[in-house]
Amino acid sequence: MRILSSQVSEHVGEEVTVAGWLHRVRALKSVTFAIVRDRDGLVQVVAAEPELVKRLAVLTEETVVEVTGTVTANQQAPGGVEITSPAVRELSEPAVASPFDLYRPVVSAALPTVLDNAAVALRHPRLRAPFEISAASVAGYRRALDRLGFTEVHTPKVVSSATESGANVFALDWFGRKAYLAQSPQFYKQTMVGVFERVYEVGPVFRAEPHDTARHLAQYTSLDAELGFVADHRDVMAVVRQAVAEMVATIAERAPGAVELLGVKLPDVPEEIPSIHFADAQELLARETDEDPRGEPDLAPAHERWLCDWALREHGSQFLFVTGYPMRKRPFYTHPDPERPEFSNSFDLLFRGLELVTGGQRLHRHSDYLAALEARGESPEPYAGYLAAFAHGMPPHGGFALGLERFVARLTEADNIRWTTLFPRDLHRLAP
């Protein structure tokens, strides 16, 4: 019976089979120690039989093996047990030696080297751990939204018009017609509010980001949601809070090994995440820093970092909502603040110095969409399929999108989002 490395300690005195990769081979004179790595962890195998000692000693690390032997207690072995009197079957031998010492606990390779060699580098427990956290985050997101009555949808990634802004969109040829890679499921998720009332999506989005930063990718995973019958953006913020809280809880539950290995300090998600209006945030920055951002249409990254430090100081929270961004900086579907129409019913959620979520209330009347497009000098023609939803009756609604890689990067305090992205796509990187 094949068992996992983590189950070996439950079988002391029995014969078991484990399968995995030779993580480390240490040949002494009369015994060879081999550490086998499987999806669950590591287990030590000890060979004392002379033929096997010799054979194991020359196997290269990353050889794929199946080991059958007796489980023996040994306080010195990792996990307190080891497999003795083993029979070792080689399933596959590496064609080349690994460029990394995967068994060394500290990763000394630089990011580009890791990315160039991702197929093997990500086998390192520390480099793989962020992706375990990522998987748990998505599971938590789904759990939260399923519980709240949302339906998961899958929308097209090749589309006929830009959704966020025409500037950073990848164009491609679609049977002789111009098409784009979707920057967001924005139009489709709104349309689906007319069908399901509450929807969410986990999927790739594409941004032709011309700048090379530690927080921008050209393809990332967007956790989107949209819900109908909201009073305003605050109802959407309440959903964001629940989703993030469930994501953090699910990481603790499903990826405790990764959390421990990376020393991740999981944040408390306050019952009530502190919130500040954009205009008040600018006043605060003008009053308390050397800069005066008043009149600027958006917050600079340095301002976001300062505001996060402020929220931690003043409210003990690693999360901060900034609400009411100026209408002129937001996409045409944004709902204005009825009291102060130059500001919008929108928000960003900042986490540990970085924008993590954008969302808000949307326009919902067909006539408002036509007016908003006209005010921006845009023809309704390219948006016909989207506008049909509003022509046929849509409730007041809103939604948000959370960048998965950014979330995991801030959680693990990675200095670059590429440490938490599988095969990142950016200005320079299209392979592997």
**The one among 406, 410, 418, 425 contacting ligand AMO by CB under 6 A:** 406
Tokens found for residue 249: 């809880």
Nearer to ligand AMO among residue 55 and residue 216 (C-beta): 216
Give the whole-angstrom CA distance, residue 130 versus residue 122: 10
- From the list 246, 299, 325, 234, the residue with the least C-alpha distance to 272 is 234
Taking CB under 6 A as the binding criterion, the range among 107-115, 273-281, 314-322, 355-363 that sits at the site for ligand AMO is 355-363
Query: In the complex, which residue's CB is closest to ligand AMO?
Result: 403
Nearer to ligand AMO among residue 71 and residue 357 (C-beta): 357
Rule CB under 6 A: say whether 345 interacts with ligand AMO. Answer: no
Taking CB under 6 A as the binding criterion, the range among 97-105, 169-177, 312-320, 400-408 that sits at the site for ligand AMO is 400-408
Phi and psi of 159, rounded to 5°? -135, 170
Within 175-204, the residues that bind ligand AMO by CB under 6 A are: 184, 186
**The one among 140, 399, 418, 425 contacting ligand AMO by CB under 6 A:** 399
Nearer to ligand AMO among residue 326 and residue 360 (C-beta): 360
DSSP 8-state assignment for residue 344 = B
Report in angstroms how near the CB of residue 214 gets to ligand AMO at its nearest. Answer: 10
Question: Are 226 and 401 a contacting pair, CB within 8 Å?
Answer: no
Nearer to ligand AMO among residue 124 and residue 410 (C-beta): 410
Q: Strand order of the sheet with strand 171-174?
A: 158-159, 177-181, 171-174
Rule CB under 6 A: say whether 336 interacts with ligand AMO. Answer: no
Taking CB under 6 A as the binding criterion, the range among 2-10, 152-160, 253-261, 349-357 that sits at the site for ligand AMO is 349-357
Burial class (CB in 10 A: 0-12, 13-18, 19+), 74: middle
**The one among 62, 164, 246, 337 contacting ligand AMO by CB under 6 A:** 164
Q: What are the Cα distances from residue 255, in Å, to 184, 201, 367? A: 28, 22, 48
Rg (CA), the chain: 26
- Reported as half-sphere exposure (CB side, CA atoms, 13 A), residue 5 has a value of 21
Q: Is 362 annotated as a binding residue?
A: yes
**The one among 193, 247, 387, 401 contacting ligand AMO by CB under 6 A:** 401
Phi and psi of 94, rounded to 5°? -65, 145
Give the whole-angstrom CA distance, residue 432 versus residue 423: 6
Nearer to ligand AMO among residue 21 and residue 278 (C-beta): 278
Q: Residue 357 pairs with which residues in a beta bridge? A: 349, 402
Rule CB under 6 A: say whether 359 interacts with ligand AMO. Answer: yes
Taking CB under 6 A as the binding criterion, the range among 38-46, 148-156, 249-257, 357-365 that sits at the site for ligand AMO is 357-365
Task: Give how many residues touch ligand AMO by CB under 6 A.
Answer: 21
Burial class (CB in 10 A: 0-12, 13-18, 19+), 18: buried
Rule CB under 6 A: say whether 82 interacts with ligand AMO. Answer: no
Question: Are 394 and 333 a contacting pair, CB within 8 Å?
Answer: no
Question: Are 259 and 249 a contacting pair, CB within 8 Å?
Answer: no
Report in angstroms how near the CB of residue 188 gets to ligand AMO at its nearest. Answer: 11
Q: Which residues are annotated as a binding site for L-aspartate?
A: 164, 207, 358, 362
Q: Which residues are at the interface with ligand AMO (CB under 6 A)? A: 164, 184, 186, 207, 209, 216-217, 220, 222, 355-360, 399-401, 403, 405-406
